[in-house]
Structure 1
Amino acid sequence: MSVKTILILGALLSGLGVMIGAFGAHGLAKMLTESGRTDTFETAVKYQMYHALGLLLVGILMTQFPGATGMRISGLCFLIGILIFSGSLYILCLTGIKWMGAITPVGGLFLIGGWLNLVWALAKNLP
Protein backbone atom coordinates (compact mmCIF):
# COMPACT_ATOMS: atom_id res chain seq x y z
CA MET A 1 0.00 0.00 0.00
CA SER A 2 1.22 3.48 -0.75
CA VAL A 3 1.54 6.23 1.86
CA LYS A 4 -1.37 8.03 0.20
CA THR A 5 -3.57 4.92 0.39
CA ILE A 6 -2.71 4.32 4.04
CA LEU A 7 -3.46 7.92 5.00
CA ILE A 8 -6.73 8.00 3.04
CA LEU A 9 -7.87 4.69 4.56
CA GLY A 10 -6.96 5.92 8.04
CA ALA A 11 -8.97 9.10 7.58
CA LEU A 12 -11.87 7.27 5.93
CA LEU A 13 -12.08 4.57 8.60
CA SER A 14 -11.88 7.21 11.34
CA GLY A 15 -14.78 9.12 9.83
CA LEU A 16 -16.76 5.91 9.34
CA GLY A 17 -16.06 5.01 12.96
CA VAL A 18 -17.72 8.22 14.11
CA MET A 19 -20.68 7.66 11.78
CA ILE A 20 -21.11 4.00 12.77
CA GLY A 21 -20.82 4.90 16.45
CA ALA A 22 -23.48 7.60 16.11
CA PHE A 23 -25.73 5.27 14.14
CA GLY A 24 -25.35 2.62 16.83
CA ALA A 25 -26.05 5.10 19.64
CA HIS A 26 -29.11 6.60 17.98
CA GLY A 27 -30.47 4.47 15.15
CA LEU A 28 -29.73 1.06 16.61
CA ALA A 29 -29.97 1.80 20.33
CA LYS A 30 -33.22 -0.10 20.87
CA MET A 31 -32.14 -3.14 18.85
CA LEU A 32 -28.69 -3.31 20.49
CA THR A 33 -30.19 -2.92 23.97
CA GLU A 34 -32.79 -5.63 23.35
CA SER A 35 -30.18 -8.04 22.02
CA GLY A 36 -27.74 -7.19 24.83
CA ARG A 37 -25.05 -6.32 22.31
CA THR A 38 -24.48 -2.62 23.09
CA ASP A 39 -21.08 -3.30 24.67
CA THR A 40 -20.03 -5.49 21.75
CA PHE A 41 -20.97 -2.79 19.25
CA GLU A 42 -19.09 -0.15 21.25
CA THR A 43 -16.01 -2.39 21.35
CA ALA A 44 -16.12 -2.75 17.56
CA VAL A 45 -16.33 1.02 17.10
CA LYS A 46 -13.53 1.72 19.61
CA TYR A 47 -11.15 -0.74 18.03
CA GLN A 48 -11.96 0.58 14.57
CA MET A 49 -11.15 4.11 15.71
CA TYR A 50 -7.94 3.17 17.54
CA HIS A 51 -6.59 1.31 14.55
CA ALA A 52 -7.75 3.83 11.98
CA LEU A 53 -5.67 6.34 13.95
CA GLY A 54 -2.90 3.73 13.90
CA LEU A 55 -3.13 3.75 10.08
CA LEU A 56 -2.73 7.52 10.10
CA LEU A 57 0.29 7.17 12.39
CA VAL A 58 1.87 4.63 10.05
CA GLY A 59 1.27 6.90 7.07
CA ILE A 60 2.80 9.88 8.84
CA LEU A 61 5.81 7.82 9.92
CA MET A 62 6.25 6.62 6.34
CA THR A 63 6.40 10.23 5.11
CA GLN A 64 8.91 11.16 7.82
CA PHE A 65 11.10 8.10 7.20
CA PRO A 66 10.63 7.31 3.49
CA GLY A 67 13.43 4.74 3.39
CA ALA A 68 12.10 2.78 6.35
CA THR A 69 11.11 -0.80 5.60
CA GLY A 70 8.31 -2.85 7.12
CA MET A 71 5.83 -0.10 7.98
CA ARG A 72 3.53 -0.94 5.07
CA ILE A 73 3.01 -4.36 6.63
CA SER A 74 1.78 -2.66 9.81
CA GLY A 75 -0.71 -0.63 7.80
CA LEU A 76 -1.94 -3.73 6.00
CA CYS A 77 -2.29 -5.62 9.30
CA PHE A 78 -4.30 -2.73 10.78
CA LEU A 79 -6.61 -2.66 7.75
CA ILE A 80 -7.19 -6.43 7.74
CA GLY A 81 -7.61 -6.41 11.53
CA ILE A 82 -10.24 -3.66 11.39
CA LEU A 83 -12.17 -5.45 8.67
CA ILE A 84 -12.13 -8.81 10.46
CA PHE A 85 -12.30 -7.70 14.12
CA SER A 86 -14.75 -4.81 13.92
CA GLY A 87 -16.51 -6.16 10.85
CA SER A 88 -17.31 -9.50 12.45
CA LEU A 89 -18.62 -7.77 15.58
CA TYR A 90 -20.80 -5.42 13.51
CA ILE A 91 -22.26 -8.39 11.65
CA LEU A 92 -22.81 -10.26 14.92
CA CYS A 93 -24.62 -7.29 16.46
CA LEU A 94 -26.76 -6.53 13.42
CA THR A 95 -27.68 -10.06 12.37
CA GLY A 96 -27.23 -12.22 15.45
CA ILE A 97 -25.08 -14.67 13.47
CA LYS A 98 -23.14 -16.03 16.43
CA TRP A 99 -20.35 -17.81 14.55
CA MET A 100 -19.11 -14.37 13.44
CA GLY A 101 -17.82 -13.96 16.98
CA ALA A 102 -15.55 -16.96 16.40
CA ILE A 103 -13.53 -15.12 13.74
CA THR A 104 -13.15 -11.92 15.76
CA PRO A 105 -9.93 -13.14 17.43
CA VAL A 106 -8.32 -13.57 14.01
CA GLY A 107 -8.84 -9.85 13.48
CA GLY A 108 -7.38 -9.22 16.91
CA LEU A 109 -4.27 -11.15 15.93
CA PHE A 110 -3.85 -8.92 12.88
CA LEU A 111 -4.21 -5.81 15.07
CA ILE A 112 -1.61 -7.11 17.51
CA GLY A 113 0.61 -8.08 14.59
CA GLY A 114 0.34 -4.57 13.21
CA TRP A 115 1.62 -3.05 16.45
CA LEU A 116 4.39 -5.63 16.86
CA ASN A 117 5.49 -5.13 13.29
CA LEU A 118 5.51 -1.37 13.82
CA VAL A 119 7.78 -1.83 16.85
CA TRP A 120 10.10 -4.00 14.75
CA ALA A 121 10.07 -1.51 11.82
CA LEU A 122 10.83 1.42 14.12
CA ALA A 123 13.61 -0.42 15.95
CA LYS A 124 15.14 -1.53 12.66
CA ASN A 125 14.91 1.75 10.77
CA LEU A 126 15.26 4.63 13.21
CA PRO A 127 18.66 5.85 14.34
Structure 2
Amino acid sequence: MSQDSSTLREEGNNHFKAGDVQQALSCYTKALKITDCQSENAVLYRNRAACYLKLEDYTKAEADATKALDVDQGDLKARFRRAQALQKLGRLDQAFMDAQKCAQLEPKNKAFQDLLRQLGAQIQQK
Protein backbone atom coordinates (compact mmCIF):
# COMPACT_ATOMS: atom_id res chain seq x y z
CA MET A 1 0.00 0.00 0.00
CA SER A 2 1.31 3.39 -0.95
CA GLN A 3 2.15 5.91 1.74
CA ASP A 4 0.75 8.80 -0.30
CA SER A 5 -2.26 10.41 1.41
CA SER A 6 -4.22 11.03 -1.80
CA THR A 7 -3.73 7.39 -2.86
CA LEU A 8 -4.91 6.25 0.57
CA ARG A 9 -7.92 8.57 0.29
CA GLU A 10 -8.80 7.09 -3.12
CA GLU A 11 -8.45 3.57 -1.71
CA GLY A 12 -10.70 4.60 1.16
CA ASN A 13 -13.26 6.00 -1.28
CA ASN A 14 -13.25 2.73 -3.24
CA HIS A 15 -13.71 0.69 -0.06
CA PHE A 16 -16.54 2.99 1.06
CA LYS A 17 -18.33 2.66 -2.30
CA ALA A 18 -17.94 -1.12 -2.08
CA GLY A 19 -19.52 -1.11 1.38
CA ASP A 20 -16.34 -1.93 3.30
CA VAL A 21 -16.67 0.93 5.76
CA GLN A 22 -14.08 -0.37 8.26
CA GLN A 23 -11.41 -0.62 5.56
CA ALA A 24 -12.31 2.86 4.29
CA LEU A 25 -12.02 4.21 7.83
CA SER A 26 -8.59 2.62 8.16
CA CYS A 27 -7.38 4.21 4.89
CA TYR A 28 -8.63 7.67 5.88
CA THR A 29 -7.05 7.40 9.33
CA LYS A 30 -3.68 6.33 7.87
CA ALA A 31 -3.81 9.22 5.40
CA LEU A 32 -4.53 11.69 8.21
CA LYS A 33 -1.39 10.49 10.01
CA ILE A 34 0.89 11.26 7.06
CA THR A 35 -0.44 14.51 5.61
CA ASP A 36 -0.14 18.01 6.98
CA CYS A 37 -2.04 19.63 4.11
CA GLN A 38 -5.05 21.41 5.65
CA SER A 39 -7.33 21.03 2.62
CA GLU A 40 -6.50 17.32 2.35
CA ASN A 41 -7.15 16.92 6.09
CA ALA A 42 -10.57 18.54 5.70
CA VAL A 43 -11.56 16.04 3.00
CA LEU A 44 -10.23 13.11 5.03
CA TYR A 45 -12.09 14.20 8.17
CA ARG A 46 -15.27 14.70 6.14
CA ASN A 47 -14.91 11.24 4.60
CA ARG A 48 -14.15 9.67 7.96
CA ALA A 49 -17.28 11.34 9.37
CA ALA A 50 -19.28 9.52 6.67
CA CYS A 51 -17.76 6.23 7.83
CA TYR A 52 -18.62 6.94 11.45
CA LEU A 53 -22.21 7.78 10.45
CA LYS A 54 -22.50 4.41 8.69
CA LEU A 55 -21.03 2.70 11.76
CA GLU A 56 -23.48 4.63 13.98
CA ASP A 57 -20.66 6.21 15.99
CA TYR A 58 -22.30 9.61 16.02
CA THR A 59 -19.98 11.24 18.55
CA LYS A 60 -16.93 10.55 16.35
CA ALA A 61 -18.88 11.55 13.22
CA GLU A 62 -19.73 14.91 14.79
CA ALA A 63 -16.12 15.43 15.94
CA ASP A 64 -14.64 14.68 12.50
CA ALA A 65 -17.19 16.80 10.65
CA THR A 66 -16.37 19.66 13.03
CA LYS A 67 -12.63 19.22 12.32
CA ALA A 68 -13.36 19.47 8.59
CA LEU A 69 -15.41 22.62 9.20
CA ASP A 70 -12.59 24.12 11.28
CA VAL A 71 -10.52 24.06 8.08
CA ASP A 72 -13.32 25.02 5.67
CA GLN A 73 -16.50 26.62 7.04
CA GLY A 74 -18.06 26.38 3.59
CA ASP A 75 -17.80 22.58 3.38
CA LEU A 76 -21.48 21.67 2.98
CA LYS A 77 -20.88 17.92 2.98
CA ALA A 78 -19.14 18.19 6.34
CA ARG A 79 -21.87 20.48 7.70
CA PHE A 80 -24.58 18.07 6.49
CA ARG A 81 -22.80 15.10 8.07
CA ARG A 82 -22.45 17.01 11.32
CA ALA A 83 -26.17 17.83 11.22
CA GLN A 84 -26.96 14.13 10.74
CA ALA A 85 -24.72 13.15 13.66
CA LEU A 86 -26.15 15.86 15.92
CA GLN A 87 -29.66 14.70 15.06
CA LYS A 88 -28.80 11.14 16.11
CA LEU A 89 -27.20 12.49 19.30
CA GLY A 90 -30.45 14.32 20.12
CA ARG A 91 -28.89 17.78 19.76
CA LEU A 92 -31.71 18.90 17.50
CA ASP A 93 -31.31 22.67 17.75
CA GLN A 94 -27.66 22.50 16.70
CA ALA A 95 -28.50 20.01 13.95
CA PHE A 96 -31.25 22.33 12.70
CA MET A 97 -28.84 25.27 12.47
CA ASP A 98 -26.38 23.21 10.39
CA ALA A 99 -29.14 21.83 8.16
CA GLN A 100 -30.59 25.31 7.73
CA LYS A 101 -27.23 26.70 6.61
CA CYS A 102 -26.85 23.84 4.10
CA ALA A 103 -30.36 24.41 2.74
CA GLN A 104 -29.80 28.16 2.45
CA LEU A 105 -26.59 27.71 0.49
CA GLU A 106 -27.97 24.93 -1.74
CA PRO A 107 -31.76 25.35 -1.75
CA LYS A 108 -32.30 22.78 -4.52
CA ASN A 109 -30.52 19.98 -2.62
CA LYS A 110 -33.28 17.53 -1.70
CA ALA A 111 -31.27 15.80 1.05
CA PHE A 112 -30.67 19.15 2.79
CA GLN A 113 -34.35 20.10 2.54
CA ASP A 114 -35.50 16.67 3.77
CA LEU A 115 -33.24 16.81 6.83
CA LEU A 116 -34.35 20.35 7.61
CA ARG A 117 -38.03 19.28 7.47
CA GLN A 118 -37.33 16.22 9.64
CA LEU A 119 -35.55 18.29 12.24
CA GLY A 120 -38.25 20.95 12.25
CA ALA A 121 -40.86 18.27 12.93
CA GLN A 122 -38.73 16.65 15.66
CA ILE A 123 -38.15 19.98 17.39
CA GLN A 124 -41.88 20.75 17.38
CA GLN A 125 -42.60 17.35 18.98
CA LYS A 126 -40.29 18.10 21.91
**Structure with the larger RCO, 1 or 2 (CA within 8 Å, 6+ apart):** 1
Judging by fraction of residues, say which structure has more helix.
1
For Structure 1 versus Structure 2, the TM-score category normalised by the shorter chain is 0.3 to 0.5
TM-score (norm 1): 0.35
Structure ID, larger Rg: 1
